[in-house]
Amino acid sequence: MKSTPPKNPHPKSEKSGKNSGLVKKNAKDIMNEVQTNKNLYAKIADILEKSRKAVISTVNTTMVSAYYEIGRLIVEHEQNGQIRAEYGKQVIKSLSLKLTKQFGKGFSQRNLEQMRLFYLTYSAEIPQTLSAKFELSYSHYLFLMHIENPEERKFYEIETKNSNWSLRELKRQFDSSLYERLALSKDKKAVAKLSKRGVVVENPKDIVKDPYVLEFLGLPEKSCYSESQLEQEIINKLEKFLLELGKGYTFVGRQVRLTFDEKHFFVDLVFYNRLLQSFVLIDLKIGELTHQDLGQMQMYVNYYDRFVKLPNENKTIGIILCKKKSDSLVEITLPENNTQIFASKYQTVLPDKQDLIKLLEDK
């Protein structure tokens, strides 16, 4: 009798093993496919996002150019016909009614008068190609054209473009008298450059303002608060503080410890300026600046220069923000060739713009 080979007690196990390998292989393929699909989606989304921004930018430029051209036609019509002021108002009123009927909102008498003023304000600066000129929104230009000083207006226009300021941030910088604050710390030649190039960071002095305006902290000017409270409020509003500091800043840390001779010292705030490739140390003083404060900052700066900064980085900058200071004390305490230590006042309310303008005129 021939012996019959024993039947496989688990006939499906081998098949199951083969299938499990297929399942694993398929799972891996599926994961790769999912990742590929994600990459595909990301690339398409990026294209659409860029296209959307380009469309918005094109529409914005087209509309601003259109408003400029409307203003030009109104002004030329007035000049060619030597229209009296009263009759000119009637022309704008009539235009407003007809344009609103055909094109809808946006052509009120006030809006048409603003287009007229827009042309009058910028016609002297306009290049042959309109699209090369208008790089901001019409809302930005509506605000800018009411700045009477042409050099100041040009400065804010350049900075808005370079720093990508929203209309809200532009208004805040204007209200904080940024132009006057920067101009007060520069000679006449450097002030003239502000209206041509905006803020150009080439050396440590270029990043220093006096005063710094910290109204966004919400601390009343004569309120009692500690240095630690001031520091905490700055950290809470760090994004706004970085905007007030200026270009190129990144935050490194707060209460950064320096240790030597078994003693610990703490720098209130440490930043890094990418444009200058330098560490920037900031100490906060809620009272009057003393020579000891300047000496302490000199120590902090020396420590960073010797033990923290890399060989290819530039020397460390120290800024003391204080409520009150004597320029004579600062000048006598610091070396004549000082390019690293600065003392600036800060205030927690917006400055009086007229007072700063008067200081600038008397300079």
Could you tell me the pLDDT band of residue 15, with boundaries at 50, 70 and 90?
A: very low
What are the tens digits of pLDDT across the range 19-32?
544 445 566 666 67
The pLDDT of 36-44, averaged and rounded, is: 77
Among the listed residues 260, 326, 270, the one whose alpha carbon sits nearest the alpha carbon of residue 293: 326
Which letter, b or e, does each residue of 283-322 get, where b requires 16 or more Cβ atoms within 10 Å of its Cβ?
Answer: bbbbeebbeebbebbbebbebbbeeebeeeeebbbbbbbb
What are the tens digits of pLDDT across the range 56-91?
767 788 899 999 999 999 988 887 655 565 666 788
What are the tens digits of pLDDT across the range 133-162?
788 999 999 999 999 999 999 999 999 999
d(CA 309, CA 204): 16
Could you tell me the pLDDT band of residue 357, with boundaries at 50, 70 and 90?
A: confident
pTM value is: 0.72
Record: fold of 210-349: Trna Endonuclease; Chain: A, domain 1 (3.40.1350)
Chain length of the chain: 363
Numbered ranges of CATH 3.40.1350.10 in the chain: 210-349
110, pLDDT greater than 90: yes
What single letter denotes the amino acid at residue 274? Answer: R
d(CA 25, CA 22): 5
d(CA 336, CA 148): 38
Please answer whether residues 344 and 210 qualify as being in contact, where contact means their C-beta atoms are separated by less than 8 angstroms.
Answer: yes
